[in-house]
Structure 1
Amino acid sequence: MDTINHISKTKLPLHQDFNFLKSEAIDFIQNHIGKEWTNFNPSDPGMTILDQFCYALTELGYCTDFTIPDILTDFTGKIAIDDQFYLPYKILTTSPYTINDYRKYLIDGNENIFNVTILCYNNNIFPINRIYQVYLYINPDIVDVIESKNICKSAFYYLNKSRNLGEVFNLPIALQTQNCSIGGKIEITKKVDLYAVLLDLQSKIREFIFAKPEQLSYETLIAKGYNSAAIYDGPYLKNGWILNESLADKIDQIKAIDLIPVIESVTGIVTVSGLQLYQNEKITSVLQATVNQILSIDILGSYKSKNLTITCNGKEVAFDAFGPLIITPDKFEETTANLNNKVHLKLPKSSFRDINTYYSIQNTFPQQYNIGADKVADDSAPIQVAQSRQLKGYLTLFDQILANQFSQLANVSKLFSFTNSVCGAPSDEENFYAVKDKEQQKNLEYPVPYKMFSPSYFYQSLYTVPHIRPILKDSKTFDYSFGNETEAEQQEKSWFEYQQDPYNPYIFGMMKLIEEEDVNLDRRNKLLDHLLARHGESPKVIDAIINDTIYTGDKRKDQLILKSLYLQNLGLLTYNRQKGYNFLSASKIADNTSGNIDVSLPVIKSKHLGYISENTTDFIFRSEQINKKEKLSRPDFNNFSGLELKLNLLFGLKNIYSNFITSQFDIQQNNIENQLNTYKTIQKTFWFKEKRNGSILIETILLLNQLKYNIEIIKQNQVNITSYSLENIDFQTISNLNYVVNTTAEATLDTNLGQGYLVFSDVQFPVVTNTSEAINLTDYTKSELSNYYFRITIASGNGSITIDNSVFKKNIILVFPDFIPVLQTPEFKKRLKYFLKNSLPVNVSYECLFLSLQELETFIPNYVKWHESLRFKSDLIPVKTEQDQAAINNSAPSATTNPAETAINLINSLTSILATKNGRNK
């Protein structure tokens, strides 16, 4: 045999060393028992008891040395992961936030997007908002214009899935190819495939100009020395990770000297000489491209035109009429098998360890003690029976302590779980339900068996201890018969019923004895604080935010509920912490009636009252129910921003509204008018709770995004002032033209405006030329690179809306009803301010509005119409997939829908509210 199995004589750990444990116990006895115990020999019964207890402790010590995976593995072989740990890709990643994040996100999301350039406009007009213009380097082999446009539109949808608060994306633009060629002489070696050389050269020049970043597998990056924190820094990528250093910028200027090392790096090329550059069929010293263009050097075209000569051993290689250079995808990316991110999600190997099952020390005592399975029968030697039971009662105390320790270790997964446990004796609860059928489980004789609020100490019954029944209190409670059973059958049935009674004096007394509520709540709170800190969340900050949030009325229990809910949803909340909602595909909050948007609030019916109920049964809080109700899913972040969902969760807004509605139903109204107001109050509260998660968040950039604009550009000379204007243009165009005026050289502006247009991305926007004698330049903004001045005004609203409107001074506006007492307390407003300060990015400013019942009467309909109109972007929204088409079909606007008009109505409503608020403050 290759392996020799034998017992090695090695020193055991102290907690598994019987001799050490026994010597420690004897030392303790000698130091504390005085002169009452003098016999420490094996003949003393006390020493026998000590031996058995120490042996049992070595078993407990052995179990504590099991690996964490083994301890967390259940009898099915599955490791407890859910609500225990967040896998790295779920907790370390975050939705795109930086420019590089968005570039990775787009490259990973569409195989035909090779690279991305993103401009974040430093906007003179809207300085507190981010406006992104995205340029896509689409696979050069795609020449179909329609397909290219569809890729841009698909990217627009994809970007808005991860749009951050206070940000908007203009429709992405495909980089336009700027065709170029080269001339000169290239010397190649013998026995090389000319086509392969040209193919490799074309590929390397493309990579030099704007390379498609390499996507690497997790294992590859680990092998390169990257740790998990570095790998997962950024958005989760489905097809492999992209390093920041691989995101090279697009090269817009190339000199001949820049290409020489690129050409010479191609296998088979010896030298290059006399290199010349051609652009627009003219020789140039520098190849140049604008921000919306990409240089494309056609190697085969250069060779065909004979500007590029290829020689071998001094002889020119003749041109063969082969087709275009086809660059296969594997030149740019790894195979899917190498890039999938599943391999590193393998959990550690583990084995189920039956830690909870307890073997009583009474089974191992010598036979003469009469306490084992073969003890003296109850009907003989009553004195010996009494002595045996007395000893069993004494030993059962030790058994219970040991059994509970094993149970505590077996339930470590529940102790450190994000969810609050609901039972202190899981094994007994499992045994209770194991013998119940479905009907019995629905109509239990005991409504909350073994239930308690968030235990942190676990225990188990000792029904398996030999002949334990006679020493358990009231163990004969079920000793009755209907006369059709034998005595043995009746005794078996009685004992079974006693064990199935979760309120029998033994197990119920154990439940009350094991934990004192004050100790339990403090201990569980510390455990949750540890879990929060382990995930980078400050327990003190969370305590300050949830200070007055009420679920049970007991402050400490409410802390446990809220911290547990936050931890359960932490993965999605932290990933989407900065994200706004996806206005292009968010669910509707209004119905369509006869082709018009129905903005009427829901009628409160009796079926709705099922939501308005306590989360308790028999005075025990139902943690499972609240966990299910507050569980967040990915679609929630499509309909709401991460901020709104976190606000609702930590402040318990839905619960506040439910309690308020309940209190309103209890109010006795004296007249019909008061009853009507009460109903309207309940109706709006219910709408806030069901449709908006307790608050309304409006991003002012989205209001601006729907309006039309005018731009006026002037240049002053000695005689008069010439102005150029464009009117009634959309937000995307105005933001791009604002960029053009700010970043274009004066000479270029002179030429373009002189010819009657502005140019952006090769598109000419015609301008109207006017002349006037005097203009107040203080009303205009000076261009950054020229002596031109410009002014942007809002065309929508007939001049009633201006860019410096009070509504646009903040990035987001949060709206709450003011008739709910809890929301009007100084404590709530202080916590809200602290929450927003800690949750919002520094570049996002906010305004909180508390609206009266009368203000909400007009505000809510305006908001609903505006919210629905955000989806009606038929001129911009793409149709790429069946899902996209379905989204557009489902949100088709009626003939009366005007997105700009809905924005104007909401802006006017907010302006009036802000004016009233400022007036009250004065």
Structure 2
Amino acid sequence: MNNVKGYISKKKEGTSLYEELHLEALEIIQKLSSEVWTDFNEHDPGVTILESIVYTITELAHKTLSPIQDILIKSRGQELHSGDNGFFVASDILTTGPITFYDYRKIWIDQISNVKNVWIYPIEDCPGEVDNIKGLLRVFIGKFKYKSDPQEESDDNKRIIQEILTTYNTNRNLCEDIYNIEIYKPLRLAMGLNIKLSNSVNGEEILAKVFNQVNDYMVSNVNYYSLWELQRKDTPINKIFNGPNLLDGFILDEDLKDPLEEIVISDVMKIITQIPGIVSVNDFYFQYKDPDTGDMIQIRDRFKVPKNTRVIATFPKSDKEIVFENSNTFFQPDLNETKKQFSLIRALSYGGFKEASSSLNKISIPPGNHLDMTSYFPIRKQLPELYGIGDRGISGQATDLRKAQVKQLQAYLMPFDQLMVNFLTQLSNIHTLYDVNDNNHASYFTKELPDTEELIDLIKPVNGEYELTKWKETLNDINNRFDNKALKRLSEVANHLLSRFNETFQTYALRKINSSSYGEVLMNEEFDKKLLTSKRQLVREYASISYGRARSFNYHQPEEGEKNQFIPGILRKLAILMDIDDFKIKSLIKGFEDSEIEIHPVTLNIEVVIDAINISQEDLEIIKIEDVTIDEVIKDDLYKVMHYMGDKETLLQDTLKYGVIADNYEIKKSEKEDLYYIFYKKANQEANIVHLSKTQEEAVTAIQKAVAYLVNINQKSEGFFMIEHLLLLPPYKEAYFGFQIDFSLLPSIGLNLKLTHKVWAPCQERNETITTFVNQLLLGQLQYSVIHKKDNYSLEISSSGEDGQEGEVLMVSENQYTSEEALNKDIELLKGLNTVVDEEQLGTIIKCYVNYAAGKAPIDESFFSFQASFIAPSWPVRFQNENFKTMFKNTVYEQFPIHIKYGIYWLDYEDLKTFETSYFKWLEQLSSKSEEDTQKDLAYELITILQKLIEQQDET
């Protein structure tokens, strides 16, 4: 606060922390010991000790009030980085990967050279396209410069398109993909200009500014802003960093203009008149050469910009069309000088537009000072030398009583000093408490006194030696005894960090699910440690998870190896929230197979065929056999095996579910022989003998091994897959797309007719066919032909031809007519439809399909629009738990983008094995794109699996 008095106010007596503590302590002492202690003056030894303790506490409080960066940097031992202790810089935690069209436009403009502006449209919003597949995008690019050499222009266009694709695939959103990329063609316009200039201006410089402003009118520059510029405008930090990380500063959404659709000469003239130094515009026009006739065409009013065209004001080759008026004189500019000025303006514009270095656009972490937080001056050394407990000690001539009193006082003060040192140690370990990269499970910290060696006589046993290391162990043991709730405290710290991001862990629900799934095997401290690790992982990865929360994987360049693969942020977060360990896109079947578990039939000597599970585990195998009388052959096997009973269909799931519960096992000693039988019982079934041991210790060990191994198998089998339906589409530019129109769905028109495409076609061509059919049907321009084959008649519909030529065949009827009269009747109804239906009604009866191969059923394109499927194994014990399934479903609902429809399907071992076989082969083909037919066949296999799962779920 500013001192308006102009002088420093005198501190009032009793307002300092030292004075407050001292007065409060004296008041307490007087209340507690007034009957035996009456002298509370400064010369009293008790008051002297009190003053030293209060002073020490005041010093500790002063260190506690140090700036947090000083405390953390001392605690960490090195400089601070973004993410330390769950604290991230704004550029890491507030930014997101590209989500909106504005975001994609920004990263393309920022990262790809010679791209002046980019426009993105959903395929259904583009002329000639059909509203059938959601998530496909069309991209249009306007360039800075167009090459005059055709080959150079072609090479530059290929480069830009490839870089657009590469950048997009690295940042692709879930269930979206690029349909087409098109670079606007240039239309060069020559300017005619007659302007009046004010005195004392440079005509060539003015003309350069005119060219610059007019070109910006055609396609405006996208400006970059530095952090300090936006802060000076009082732009909130969360708005500044809202969007993707850019290399050269910040781009505002409002600067991303739509493409110019029409040139209005009066608007251009207004822009020119605003340039300082121009008095008036006497005449202005554009002219260009017609590509068909070669004639020069002038634009003096309005000009509709041709589709997918970038208009450019070209630099004049001659000064004949440029006239300046100044002081009633007329002259032409020096074009060479104008070109220099224009180049300078463009260079400055481009430089300012790229001048905002990324290093200057980040909010840095306060550096902090390396203060010595742990330095401590013991209380006993603060007291007067007369006490004999300081560095100089007591006189050698002192009596034994006096020496004993000194030792007593040292021993009395030692706990006080230890408490102070413990406090400073706790303060210096605050980074450890909040360290999400550490597996530390301690919440209290201790350290020996700095002068412990001088106090060795107080802590060593009588007539014995004592080492300092032993004292350290003693202190740690005492500390650990008080730190018995460390996991709870550390979990609360993690909860605090998560709350900063408005995140919570369903701790209670997960605890209940684990308890009912594993019994006491993974409960209590083990469960708390596991959950704490998951919480810390979420905090540690929160910046990358939030940045890529809507981002999917790059199927064009999949990362090599499990360690390097990119997991979409939403899937990583989902796995952490569900406490799924080491989540990766990997084969869950392989993990089970690598466990050396085998499921197979076994024939016993009693000629009973049963199913068996074999699990190799050191000297113990786990095997399931029939519950029969134990003869000598089986008895020999039971010394080294565990056997579980069950039906073949449920054997795996039952063993993993009930075999991990220690309470399901019971050890009984045989009365006839010195053997120990292990009985195993699962729900609602009688107990069977699963193992024989010669000692009770061996039986206990066998149970522990079996339970631990089955727990490990359960955890390794946990995981899930997420497949985006859009990626199962065949190449858009190949002939796999068709459609059908069913007029029977509009009963009011009385036309029971189904029309289908003539041939399968590329997606865009098919969509254009639909658009042509609908437009010409409503305009009454279609041509109808009757096709007679054998005894049947069918309908063929063509578009209207140009200049008397026959049109293109658009559709044929699926209906077969027995008479020409019946067909002609439907033709007449078709011709009159333009008076009874509109475009919207026709859109409701059009169905688009994808054809994967002859003989395979076409797939309705609605299957691919913003849809995804989650596939998970049904056999891990937690995944069998209905509460876990509900929790998984709710978590997906909370985290998954609201516009994407999804299904969750739980597959048994054999079904998941079938899915994985097709999935990983398809994924490999998708990335390599080497065998289109193989990829298409594998995609169809997956579609068939998913459709079956969807159908089964709908039935239930």
Q: Match for residue 310 of structure 2?
A: 294
Q: What is the distance in 2 between the residues matched to 1:405 and 1:267?
A: 69
Q: Match for residue 93 of structure 2?
A: 91
| Secondary structure at the counterpart of residue 48 of structure 1 | helix
State which of 713, 736, 741 in structure 2 corresponds to 1:709.
736
Offset, 1:677:
8.5
Mapped pair 1:900 → 2:918: no
Note closer, same or farther for the CA distance 1:790–1:542 as it changes in structure 2 (3 Å cut): same
Offset, 1:42:
2.7
| Secondary structure at the counterpart of residue 413 of structure 1 | helix
Mapped pair 1:507 → 2:507: no
**Aligned 8 A contact 1:185 1:309 in 2:** yes
Q: Deviations over 1:596-647 (max 9, x none)?
A: xxxxxxxxxxxxxxxxxxxxxxxxxxxxxxxxxxxxx9x543xx32222222
Q: Match for residue 172 of structure 1?
A: 181
Q: What is the distance in 1 between the residues matched to 2:55 and 2:431?
A: 26
Mapped pair 1:461 → 2:430: no
Higher mean C-alpha displacement, 739-748 vs 395-404:
739-748
| Secondary structure at the counterpart of residue 74 of structure 2 | coil
Q: What is the distance in 1 between the residues matched to 2:594 and 2:397?
A: 64
Mapped pair 1:644 → 2:565: no
**Aligned 8 A contact 2:389 2:406 in 1:** yes
Mapped pair 1:653 → 2:618: no
Structure 2: gaps spanning 5 or more residues: 1-6, 291-295, 516-520, 604-609, 617-650, 657-708, 744-748, 784-797, 814-822
Offset, 1:534:
1.7
Q: CA RMSD in A?
A: 4.7
Q: Match for residue 449 of structure 1?
A: none
Higher mean C-alpha displacement, 655-664 vs 372-381:
655-664
Q: Within 5 Å, which residues of 2 pair with 1:557-706? A: 557-587=529-559, 636-637=565-566, 640-654=567-581, 671=602, 694-706=719-731
**Aligned 8 A contact 1:696 1:815 in 2:** yes
Q: Match for residue 500 of structure 2?
A: 534
**Aligned 8 A contact 1:93 1:233 in 2:** yes
| Secondary structure at the counterpart of residue 871 of structure 1 | helix
Query: In structure 2, what residue type is equivalent to 1:78?
Result: E
Q: What is the distance in 1 between the residues matched to 2:889 and 2:259?
A: 43
Query: In structure 2, what residue type is equivalent to 1:288?
Result: K
| Secondary structure at the counterpart of residue 352 of structure 2 | coil
Mapped pair 1:131 → 2:136: yes
Query: In structure 2, what residue type is equivalent to 1:93?
Result: T
Q: What is the distance in 1 between the residues matched to 2:33 and 2:597?
A: 66
Q: Match for residue 915 of structure 2?
A: 859
| Secondary structure at the counterpart of residue 121 of structure 2 | strand
Offset, 1:37:
2.3
Offset, 1:150:
1.5
**Aligned 8 A contact 1:215 1:334 in 2:** yes
Q: Match for residue 30 of structure 1?
A: 30
Query: In structure 2, what residue type is equivalent to 1:131?
Result: L
Q: Match for residue 256 of structure 1?
A: 265
Note closer, same or farther for the CA distance 1:506–1:207 as it changes in structure 2 (3 Å cut): same
| Secondary structure at the counterpart of residue 11 of structure 1 | coil
Larger radius of gyration: 2
Higher mean C-alpha displacement, 11-20 vs 39-48:
11-20
**Aligned 8 A contact 1:548 1:828 in 2:** yes
Offset, 1:842:
1.0
Offset, 1:918:
4.9
State which of 198, 204, 209 in structure 1 corresponds to 2:218.
209
Offset, 1:572:
0.6
Query: In structure 2, what residue type is equivalent to 1:224?
Result: K
State which of 421, 424, 441 in structure 2 corresponds to 1:403.
421
**Aligned 8 A contact 1:179 1:295 in 2:** yes
Q: Match for residue 413 of structure 1?
A: 431
Q: Deviations over 1:311-365 (max 9, x none)?
A: 4445543476759775734324426553334454433243211111222111112
Q: What is the distance in 2 between the residues matched to 1:131 and 1:794?
A: 15
Offset, 1:686:
11
Q: What is the distance in 1 between the residues matched to 2:565 and 2:334?
A: 60
**Aligned 8 A contact 2:285 2:298 in 1:** yes
Q: Deviations over 1:6-40 (max 9, x none)?
A: x9995399895433321111112223334232221
Note closer, same or farther for the CA distance 1:32–1:206 as it changes in structure 2 (3 Å cut): farther
State which of 366, 390, 401 in structure 1 corresponds to 2:384.
366
Note closer, same or farther for the CA distance 1:802–1:744 as it changes in structure 2 (3 Å cut): same
Q: Match for residue 669 of structure 2?
A: none
Q: Match for residue 293 of structure 2?
A: none
**Aligned 8 A contact 1:240 1:340 in 2:** yes
Q: What is the distance in 2 between the residues matched to 1:298 and 1:120?
A: 32
Query: In structure 1, what residue type is equivalent to 2:382?
Result: T
State which of 804, 808, 832 in structure 1 corresponds to 2:860.
804
Note closer, same or farther for the CA distance 1:688–1:53 as it changes in structure 2 (3 Å cut): closer
Aligned residue pairs, count: 783
State which of 863, 873, 876 in structure 2 corresponds to 1:817.
873
| Secondary structure at the counterpart of residue 287 of structure 1 | strand
Note closer, same or farther for the CA distance 1:801–1:574 as it changes in structure 2 (3 Å cut): farther
Q: What is the distance in 2 between the residues matched to 1:207 and 1:256?
A: 14
Higher mean C-alpha displacement, 263-272 vs 801-810:
801-810
State which of 292, 297, 309 in structure 2 corresponds to 1:282.
297
Q: What is the distance in 1 between the residues matched to 2:279 and 2:287?
A: 23
Note closer, same or farther for the CA distance 1:660–1:254 as it changes in structure 2 (3 Å cut): closer
**Aligned 8 A contact 2:514 2:522 in 1:** no
Q: What is the distance in 2 between the residues matched to 1:333 and 1:745?
A: 55
Q: Determine which structure has greater relative contact order: mean sequence separation of CA pairs < 8 Å that are 6+ residues apart, divided by chain length.
A: 1
Q: What is the distance in 2 between the residues matched to 1:871 and 1:507?
A: 56
Offset, 1:379:
11
Q: What is the distance in 2 between the residues matched to 1:14 and 1:671?
A: 89
Q: What is the distance in 1 between the residues matched to 2:259 and 2:925?
A: 37
Query: In structure 2, what residue type is equivalent to 1:652?
Result: D
**Aligned 8 A contact 1:711 1:792 in 2:** yes
Query: In structure 2, what residue type is equivalent to 1:50?
Result: L
Q: What is the distance in 2 between the residues matched to 1:37 and 1:257?
A: 100
| Secondary structure at the counterpart of residue 170 of structure 1 | strand
Q: What is the distance in 1 between the residues matched to 2:282 and 2:507?
A: 68
Q: What is the distance in 2 between the residues matched to 1:276 and 1:475?
A: 109
| Secondary structure at the counterpart of residue 172 of structure 1 | strand
Offset, 1:740:
9.1
State which of 828, 836, 841 in structure 1 corresponds to 2:884.
828
Query: In structure 2, what residue type is equivalent to 1:906?
Result: L
Q: What is the distance in 2 between the residues matched to 1:224 and 1:13?
A: 46
Query: In structure 1, what residue type is equivalent to 2:97?
Result: S
**Aligned 8 A contact 1:133 1:170 in 2:** yes
| Secondary structure at the counterpart of residue 173 of structure 1 | strand
Q: What is the distance in 2 between the residues matched to 1:562 and 1:719?
A: 62
**Aligned 8 A contact 1:709 1:792 in 2:** no
**Aligned 8 A contact 2:849 2:859 in 1:** yes
Query: In structure 1, what residue type is equivalent to 2:492?
Result: K
Note closer, same or farther for the CA distance 1:852–1:667 as it changes in structure 2 (3 Å cut): closer
**Aligned 8 A contact 2:595 2:713 in 1:** no
Q: TM-score, normalised by structure 2?
A: 0.72
Q: TM-score, normalised by structure 1?
A: 0.74
Note closer, same or farther for the CA distance 1:719–1:741 as it changes in structure 2 (3 Å cut): closer
Q: Within 5 Å, which residues of 2 pair with 1:757-796? A: 768-769=809-810, 774=826, 783=839, 792-796=848-852
Give aligned-pair identity as a percent.
Answer: 21
**Aligned 8 A contact 2:773 2:799 in 1:** no
